[in-house]
Structures are given as C-alpha cells and as structure tokens.
Structure 1
Amino acid sequence: MDLSYILNELGEDRAAYFNAVAPPIIQTSNFACKTVADMRFMLQHEAEVDFYSRGNNPTVDILEKKLAALEGTEHAIAFGSGMGAVAAAVLSQVKAGDHVVCVNRPYIGTNKLMRYFLPRFGVEVTMVDGTQAANFAQATKENTTLYYLESPNSFTFELQDIAQIVDIARERNICTVIDNSFATPLLQNPAAMGVDLVVHSATKYIGGHSDVMGGIVCGSRERINRIFAAEYLTLGAVLSPHDAWLLLRGLRTLPLRMERVAKTTRQVVAFLQRREEVAEVLWPFLPEHPQYRLARKQLRNNTGQFTVRLQTESLAEVERFCDSLQHFLMAASWGGHESLIYPAAAAYMEGKFRSSLPFTLIRFYIGLEDPEYLIRDLEQAFARMKE
C-alpha cells in the first residue's frame, strides 16, 4: 500500500461528506437507531459499528485505519493520550499473579505503571537491561505473560534487538508490546519483526504541532477487539473526534517533517561533537555508538532526539547553559515544530537528585527551525556556561 495513499485517501469517503477535502469532525456522543432490531445489532457488534462515541466514531475510525496501515497491522485503536494506550495494552495482557519483563528506564509514565501501579494489583515486574536479548530470557518465569520494549529508550536511547526478543517470547508463548513513539511508523515497523502490540504517543510526531494529545495501539484484529471490549470501553481513555481530526492533519505532513527533522539533527549533532563543553552525545546513529549497527538495521533513518552529557561537574554551569538557550524551549514532550531541551538537572530537589540519571545529561529534541539558527543559539549558551 502506497504511503501517499494511506496518508491522503485511506479510510476517507469524500462523496459521503460533500466532497470536502478534509474529513469532517463528527462531533456527536450518540448515534440513533431506527428500530429495536437495529439497536440490538449495534449492541452485539459495538466493535464494528458507530453506536456511541465512547466506542467508535467516524472521524476516529479514519485515523485508526491509517495508523494500522502505516504499522502494517490488521487494526488499531485510538486513546486520549499515549499513557492511555500504553496502560491499556499492558493491562490487556496481565492479571493478578502474572509476571512482566520490562526494559530498564522506559518513559516515566510507563516506569510508574510498571514499578508502582501493577504491583498494587498482584502483578510482578522485573526491569532488565534490554541491550542484551538474553536478559529477557533469564528474567522469564513460569508466570511471565508480557515482554515490554521501548526501542530506543526515552532518555539515553538504548536499543533492543526486537527480532531476537520476539523469538524468545514466541518460544514461551509470551506477548510482546513495544512503544514505537521515537521512530514513528515511517522509520520502524515492529509488527513486521513479530511484535504483537505496537503503541504510540500520537501527541508527539504524529500530531506534530504540540496542540493535541493522543495514543494508538496497533495489532491483530483479535487483540484490538479484546482491548476495545475491556480496557477501552471500561476505563474510558477515549480520543475525541476533534483530537482525531487534529492527528489526521498531522499525518498529512509527517513524511516531510520527519525528513526535515532528521537532516537538521545530523547537522546539530555534528556541531555538538566538536565542542569541548560536550563530553558525549548519546545517539545511536553515530558510527562509534555500540549499537550503531542495530540502529541501522531496525530504523530507516534517524529522528530528532538525542542526549548530551556536558563536560562539567558543576550543577550551576549546567543550569546556566540551559537557562541561556533562547530558541530551545524547556519542556517535557517532543515531536512538534519547536526544538526542546529536557535537563536531568530538573530532578535536583531538596539537596539531592531524585533520578538515576547524572545531572550533566540534557535531552534535546530538534524541531523544524533552520539548523544555523539553532547552532547560533547553542554557541551563545556555551559562551555563557562558564561565566
């Protein structure tokens, strides 16, 4: 299926809505039935029909069809946030008494889900170094039902060998879930490597404009329909029609934005590597990175996230550098038009660090600005760092 067809035509029936180029926002909570028989049918087939927007909605349906096609899966389901998608995917595979193996240092919300939420309900979680696939096998128990991956990770960008871990999981009849937000479906397709459920924070690259929240779970129709009937309808973390429309708008330009971000990121990283104030750039697309070959194998191109370790032992110098940046916003997310930083130093509170990360680490996200514009900003911030 052609990418252009998926982004611009799949799931859209323009003749049904006045030949409008953009799909309409079907802003309704209810869909009426003409007869009792009609309502009976809808109640029995709620996963396939538009009956109540807490379940299906025509605008949301278009988004789901496109994301499933982009990930190469049978079906997809949209949530009101990335964590809504992650939580539903995980909860759909566990019950009290089960065991989960999760990669170390996942996204902070996922980390809380694994370390604090699941154990409250009798689910044991083991966190492992995902750079070695054998660690998943070694951590597996008789009651293990789920392997959770995030490749690359959110802050330090370690990768997992997806195909190897899938092979281990299949031998043991264990479900695999991966957060693919870093790469988008354009640059990495875990389902093609055998992963059962692929989740995205659509808030990031898919939305692309920092003005909408959303999450996606992609997988087989059977798995997605089970999530729909249980975690989706029951917990209610649904995506609104208007937010679905904004995400559809973001998808139209996704290939162009990803190409621009990738090119600018390479230029900014090259600049940072030459600076004496930078001790290390954590980015798997550097040839000297220990997982460079795996990155080139699994990902079709680089994206805009990387982390820098500053060459200093001074918290004040780290803060001065970050505070001096004028065109990098300081914010938690990424994937929009604007470039961002997230300093690990922000975790320094009450005289101690509440993080396992060194305070010298700063995560960067490169947006759509001109590379020269960003490099000039970095230069002036470095100049003020030692003042």
Structure 2
Amino acid sequence: MDLSYIINELGEEREQYFNAMSPPIMQTSNFVFRKVDDLSAAFADEMGGYLYSRGLNPTVDILRKKLAALDGAEDCLVLNSGAAAIFASVFANIKAGDHIVSVRKPYTWAERLFSVVLPRFNVETTYVDGGSVEQYADALRPDTRLIYLESPNSWNYAIQDLKAIADLARSKGIVTIVDNSYCTPLYQRPIELGIDLSIQSATKYIGGHSDTVAGVISGSAAMIRKIFESEYLTIGSGIQPFNAWLLIRGLRTLPMRLKQVSETTRLVLAYLRQHPKVESCLFPLDPEFSDYELAKKQMSGACGLLTFIYRTEHRGEIIRFCEALRHIFMAVSWGGHESLIIPKCAGIRPEHFRPEKKEHRMLRLYIGQESADYLIADLEQAFLSASGG
C-alpha cells in the first residue's frame, strides 16, 4: 500500500463528515441504538461496531487503519501509553507458570513488568544479551511461551536478528514481540520479518509534537482481537479520541520529519566523533557500530537517537556540560520537534559514579527539527563551558 495513500486517505470517509479535510474528533463516551437486536449484537461482539468508547471509536479507528497499514499488519490497537502496549501484549500471551525470554535491559517498564509484576503469578523471565539467535535457543525451556525483543534499544542500540529469532520461535510455537519504537514502521518492518506483534511508543515519532502519549500494538487480526477482548477492554487502557486525532495529525508529516531528523543526525554525529571530549559514539547506521551489518540488513533508517561517551574523569564536568546547553533540553523521551539530552549519571548516585565504566559517562542525545549548525553551536559552547574554556 502506498505510503502517501496511507497517510492522507486510508480510513478517511470524508463524505460522511461534511467533506471536511481533517476528520472530526468523535468525543463521545457511548453510541445510540434504535433496535434491541443491534444492541445485542454489539454486546456479543464489541469489536464489530461502536458500543462504548472504552472499546472502539470512529476517530480512533481511522488511526488504527493507518498504523496497521504502516506496519504491514492485519490490525492494530492504540493504547494510552507505550507501557500499556507492552503490558497488554505480554499479558495476553502468557498464563501463570509460563516462562519468558527477554533481551537484557529492556525499556524500564518492560523490565518492571518482567521482574516485579509477573513473578507474582509465577511467571519467570530469563534475560539474554541477544547478540545471536543461539542465545535465545539456549534459553528456551519447555514452558517458554514468549520471546520479548527491543531492536534497537534506546541507549546502546543493541540489535537482534529479528528474522532468525522469529523463525526459531515459530518452529517452537512461541510468540514473539518486538518494541519497534526506535525505527518506527517506516525504517523497520518486524511483521514482514516474521515477528508476531510489533509494538511502539507513538508518543515518539508518530505524534512528533511532544503533546500526547500513546502506544501501538500491531499484528494478525486474530492476535489483536484476543488482546482487545481481554486486556484492552478489561484494563480500559485505550487511547482517547482527541489524542488519536493528534496522532493522525502527526502522521501527516512523519516521512518528512524523519528525513529531516536523519539528515541532521548525520551531521551532528560527524561533529561529535571528531570532538576531543567525545571518547566514542553509538549509532546503529554508523559504519563503526558493532552490529552495523545487521542494522543495515533489517533497518532502512535510524532516525535521530544517538549516544556518546564523554571523555572525563569527573561527574561534575558532565553535569556542567548538560546544564550549559541553551537550546538542547534535558528531558526524557524523544521523537518530538525539540532536541533533548539525558546523562546516564542522572540515574546514578554521585558516590556510585565510576569513570572507568563507560556506561556512567553516556549521554543520550535526540536530534529534533532544528538545523545542524544550530545544534552543533550549542554543543560546542557547552563543551567549552564544561571544561572551563
């Protein structure tokens, strides 16, 4: 399906809403029925029509159709956060006593789910580095029901061979889930590689304006219906119509925003790699990246998230650098119009900081919509300020 058609036309029946170019926000909690049989049918199959906006809503459905098509999936659900998407997709595919294999150090709330919540139900998770399919094969047990992936992750950009792992899992009847937030469906297509469920934080690039929070689960119609009829409806974690409308708006400019971010990232990366205060950089499509060949094989782009290692012995210098930035904001998340930075040491108690550990000197930089010259000038003055220049 053509990308331009998906973004501009798919799911939009403009003649049904006064030929308005932008779809309406159906800000309603419920829907009216004139016949008891119709109401009975809606009770029997809430995914077959509109009953209550905790389930389906016309504005949300326009977004669902577009996001499923972008992923090359049969269907999708949109939830009120990426964490909700992780929770629903995992819970729908396990039961008490099952075993999960997960990539090591996944997103914070995925790890919290695996390490804190699921053990209450006697669900055990084995973490693997994920550098080879053999690591997953060795971790499998007779009770393994799920393999959870995150490729790339959002700090050191660890990558897994999605097709090889999907093939392994399918041969064993194991469900695969991947967090595809880093690439979006424009730059990586997990469903086409055999992954069962592709999830993403739509808060990031899909929204693109730092004004809404959402998560997406894409997969087969059968798997999406299973999630809808259990976790999605029970927890009530579906996205609200206004937020869905904001995401539709964000989709309109997604390709050109990603193109701009990707071009600027290349220039900023080149600047950082030659700077004397930068020990090294991590970026999946940098030829010096350890898994560059695999990244190039399964990713068509890498957007604007990179990490660099500050060359210093002192935590204070990293702090001075971050606080000296004038136009790059210190904040979590990524994917919006504004450039952002997070120092890893912000999550490490000062007395535990060890400069010999590269991870302690990591800074994650997100490149937004600003020009490369504007960002490089800000980085340069912050480096000078931090070193006393």
Distance 1:158 1:97, change over 3 A: same
Say yes or no: does 1:207 pair with 2:207.
yes
Q: Which amino acid in the other structure matches residue 203 of structure 1?
A: T
- 1:311 is aligned to 311
Indicate conservation of the 8 Å contact 1:344/1:357, yes or no: no
- 1:362 is aligned to 363
Work out the CA distance in 2 between the residues paired with 1:101 and 1:317.
39
Work out the CA distance in 2 between the residues paired with 1:266 and 1:111.
31
- 2:336 is aligned to 336
Work out the CA distance in 1 between the residues paired with 2:260 and 2:105.
28
- 1:224 is aligned to 224
- 1:121 is aligned to 121
Matches for 1:108-257 after TM superposition, within 5 Å: 108-257=108-257
Say yes or no: does 1:376 pair with 2:388.
no
- 1:43 is aligned to 43
Indicate conservation of the 8 Å contact 1:347/1:353, yes or no: no
Q: Deviations over 1:52-89 (max 9, x none)?
A: 10000000000000000000010001100111111100
Shift of 1:300: 0.7
Work out the CA distance in 2 between the residues paired with 1:51 and 1:350.
53
Indicate conservation of the 8 Å contact 1:207/1:246, yes or no: yes
**3-state secondary structure, aligned to 2:34:** coil
Shift of 1:359: 2.1
Larger mean Cα displacement after TM superposition, 38-47 or 54-63: 38-47
Work out the CA distance in 2 between the residues paired with 1:26 and 1:208.
22
Work out the CA distance in 2 between the residues paired with 1:11 and 1:198.
21
**3-state secondary structure, aligned to 1:156:** coil
- 2:266 is aligned to 266
Larger mean Cα displacement after TM superposition, 366-375 or 288-297: 288-297
Q: Deviations over 1:259-278 (max 9, x none)?
A: 00000000000000000100
Work out the CA distance in 1 between the residues paired with 2:226 and 2:375.
46
**3-state secondary structure, aligned to 2:47:** coil
Work out the CA distance in 1 between the residues paired with 2:160 and 2:350.
35
Shift of 1:108: 1.1
CA RMSD of aligned residues (A): 1.2
Indicate conservation of the 8 Å contact 2:345/2:361, yes or no: yes
- 1:324 is aligned to 324
**3-state secondary structure, aligned to 2:225:** helix
Indicate conservation of the 8 Å contact 2:182/2:302, yes or no: no
**3-state secondary structure, aligned to 1:206:** coil
Work out the CA distance in 2 between the residues paired with 1:301 and 1:216.
20
Work out the CA distance in 1 between the residues paired with 2:341 and 2:63.
30
Q: Which amino acid in the other structure matches residue 376 of structure 2?
A: I
Q: Deviations over 1:10-35 (max 9, x none)?
A: 00000000000000000000001112
Work out the CA distance in 2 between the residues paired with 1:228 and 1:11.
20
Indicate conservation of the 8 Å contact 2:309/2:358, yes or no: no
Indicate conservation of the 8 Å contact 1:205/1:335, yes or no: yes
Larger mean Cα displacement after TM superposition, 288-297 or 207-216: 288-297
Give the structure-2-normalised TM-score. Answer: 0.97
Larger mean Cα displacement after TM superposition, 344-353 or 219-228: 344-353
Q: Which amino acid in the other structure matches residue 368 of structure 1?
A: Q
Shift of 1:105: 1.5
Larger mean Cα displacement after TM superposition, 20-29 or 280-289: 280-289
Work out the CA distance in 2 between the residues paired with 1:148 and 1:123.
14
**Mind listing any 5+ residue stretches in structure 1 that lack a counterpart?**
none
Work out the CA distance in 2 between the residues paired with 1:195 and 1:97.
24
Shift of 1:222: 0.4
Shift of 1:353: 5.6
- 2:26 is aligned to 26
How many percent of aligned residue pairs carry the same amino acid?
Answer: 50
Distance 1:238 1:353, change over 3 A: farther
Work out the CA distance in 1 between the residues paired with 2:294 and 2:48.
39
Larger mean Cα displacement after TM superposition, 314-323 or 252-261: 314-323
Work out the CA distance in 2 between the residues paired with 1:119 and 1:246.
37
- 2:65 is aligned to 65
Distance 1:288 1:358, change over 3 A: closer
Work out the CA distance in 1 between the residues paired with 2:227 and 2:289.
38
Q: Which amino acid in the other structure matches residue 381 of structure 2?
A: Q
Larger mean Cα displacement after TM superposition, 17-26 or 340-349: 340-349
Aligned length: 386
Q: Which amino acid in the other structure matches residue 131 of structure 1?
A: G
Give the structure-1-normalised TM-score. Answer: 0.98
**Mind listing any 5+ residue stretches in structure 2 that lack a counterpart?**
none
Work out the CA distance in 2 between the residues paired with 1:368 and 1:43.
46
Larger mean Cα displacement after TM superposition, 262-271 or 304-313: 304-313
Work out the CA distance in 2 between the residues paired with 1:305 and 1:244.
25
Work out the CA distance in 2 between the residues paired with 1:194 and 1:285.
22
Q: Which amino acid in the other structure matches residue 370 of structure 1?
A: S
- 1:17 is aligned to 17
Matches for 1:62-101 after TM superposition, within 5 Å: 62-101=62-101
Q: Deviations over 1:245-267 (max 9, x none)?
A: 00000000000000000000000
Indicate conservation of the 8 Å contact 2:278/2:310, yes or no: yes
The ranges of structure 1 where at least 4 consecutive aligned residues each deviate by more than 3 angstroms after the TM superposition are none
**3-state secondary structure, aligned to 1:351:** helix
